[in-house]
Structure 1
Amino acid sequence: MDMTNLELQKHAVRIRKGIITGVHAGKSGHPGGSLSSADLLTYLYFEEMKLDPGDPKKADRDRFVLSKGHNAPALYAALAERGYFPPEDLKTLRHVGSYLQGHPCMQETPGVDASSGSLGQGISVAVGMALSARLSGADYRVYTLLGDGEIEEGQVWEAAMFAGNRRLDNLVAIVDYNNLQIDGTLDQVNSPVPIPAKFEAFRWNVIEVMDGSDFDQLREAFAGARAHKGAPSCIVMHTVKGKGVSYMENACEWHGKAPNDEQFAVAMEELNQAEEALCQR
């Protein structure tokens, strides 16, 4: 699809509303990192990836792996906004019997290409998909989203080493660099900084995006990744945890907590105002 920035911004704010709706209804979940990745998922599902919501398993579709699987509310909201299932189903998040559980399940949820589990594993799945495409001569591309805290896991770097060695230029890893994880800032826990230099050391093409909510910057980064041949690409994307909801922004406490009814009302009012302002432009 070829969309304007304004159209993408409208989708992004609706995805943020879907995130808050789901986490509030489920009374649990991870809003902070979901909100920081909302613009990235908007760009992937409405601009970058080759896909068909009417045929979620189409053989030549591009694949997306949510390596930081606890950010499922963002993926679900993006899939609903893109038309894979009704947006009202977001209210069933984490409910018994719902197909929208705390981590994505490819057997149950339309549009999910890989089930997520322990942190650090998703990039290995994505590397396997990219290698499969290479070996079979398929032309689909593979995208995976990692958290900046997640890349403290050793398995991430084993996968990065393999992908660089095999020169998997059909693979793009995106690091959501919001500098907060469940227990505090990266340097308070186990800092993986400098992130770009580490991926470069494993022979990746690295592109740094200084504002992960800027669609022009995202567009330029993904164009650069697509054009680069002979190596996988890593987009290190600087973001704000809790982006779009004032009291959640840069607040570690909102890593994995649902808003109560009053907090939900405040968040939705802010997001409704943001959407109304975009519609008036």
Structure 2
Amino acid sequence: MQPNDLDRIARQIRLRDLQAVFEAGAGHIGGEMSAIDILTALYFRVLRIWPDQPKHPDRDRFVLSKGHVALALYVTLAKRGFIPEEEVATFLKPHSRLNGHPNCNKVPGVETNTGPLGHGLPVSVGMAKAAKLTGAAYRTYVLTGDGEMQEGSNWEAIASAAQFGLDNLTLIIDHNRFQQGASLKDTNNLAPFPPKLAAFGWDVTEINGNAMDEIVPALEKRGSRPHCIVAHTNKGHGISFMQDKVDWHHKVPNAEQYKIAVAELSEAL
């Protein structure tokens, strides 16, 4: 798919995500909106996957380390054919398999359970190392939040990936500059990320993480070292009153706000 096609799909996913958050009365909509362009590019262009065979041994692996934005992953998986699209309406309902954090034992296409921050990248390093040990050709991609990069486990994993020469591993940092309750610069600001990753021996690419013409080539880049993409994104991207507002990390629009957001996202379709 070309960037224009991917943009259209991303807008559709944003609209369905918004609707599901409003209907469920919960969700992490700000970080979902910032990450959806990256998820769309992965699932509709980059990943080698078979929705009817979610455990195919040759599939590429994707780990959503920032597991609190699970809804964005569920909507993407549904649109890609891993789960029925109508199942998105069950998000957070009793007995639904679509919980607030992704569960690999219940949801096809989910590679590992995530939620506790700082876990996804270490698991992804293990997946990439396993491919090296067995001679498998699959690649591993992992998406973290920028606030999540404050976890020490991530930096241990970064050091290990460089030591092991994991050129089959791509880390994407969703650098939307906000975490729960505060901006990154007001907590434990590790930005800028590129010189730090480079110092560990990684290749690093900086992009606009909400622009498909930059996302796609970055994800398709291949080299001889592990690759980190620092994706500069906007919290609440696509919805004017949410964008770059810290309080939309974990907040639900009221009826009036919902109507405005639907209109804005629908206008772009």
Question: Do both proteins adopt the same fold according to a TM-score greater than 0.5, normalized to the shorter chain?
Answer: yes
Q: CA deviation at 1:23?
A: 1.4
Partner of 1:272: 266
Structure 2: segments with no counterpart, 5+ residues: none
**Superposed, which structure 2 residues align to 1:13-32 within 5 Å?**
13-32=11-30
Partner of 1:52: 50
Q: Over aligned residues, Cα RMSD in angstroms? A: 1.0
TM-score (norm 2): 0.97
**Superposed, which structure 2 residues align to 1:27-176 within 5 Å?**
27-176=25-174
Partner of 1:246: 240
Partner of 1:217: 214
Aligned residues: 269
Does the 8 Å CA contact 1:21/1:90 hold for their aligned counterparts? no
Structure 1: segments with no counterpart, 5+ residues: 276-281
Measure, in 1, the Cα distance between the counterparts of 2:125 and 2:178: 26
TM-score (norm 1): 0.93
Measure, in 1, the Cα distance between the counterparts of 2:134 and 2:74: 30
Query: Could you tell me which amino acid in structure 1 is paired with residue 215 of structure 2?
Result: L
Does the 8 Å CA contact 1:18/1:87 hold for their aligned counterparts? no
SS in 2 for 1:34: helix
- The superposition leaves residues 114-152 of structure 1 with CA deviations (integer Å, 9 ceiling, x where unpaired) of 111310110011011001111011000000000000001
Measure, in 2, the Cα distance between the counterparts of 1:267 and 1:83: 26
Q: CA deviation at 1:195?
A: 0.7
Does the 8 Å CA contact 1:25/1:92 hold for their aligned counterparts? no
Q: CA deviation at 1:265?
A: 2.1
SS in 1 for 2:252: coil
SS in 2 for 1:176: strand
Q: Percent identity?
A: 45
Query: Could you tell me which amino acid in structure 2 is paired with residue 79 of structure 1?
Result: L
Q: CA deviation at 1:262?
A: 2.6
Q: CA deviation at 1:221?
A: 1.2
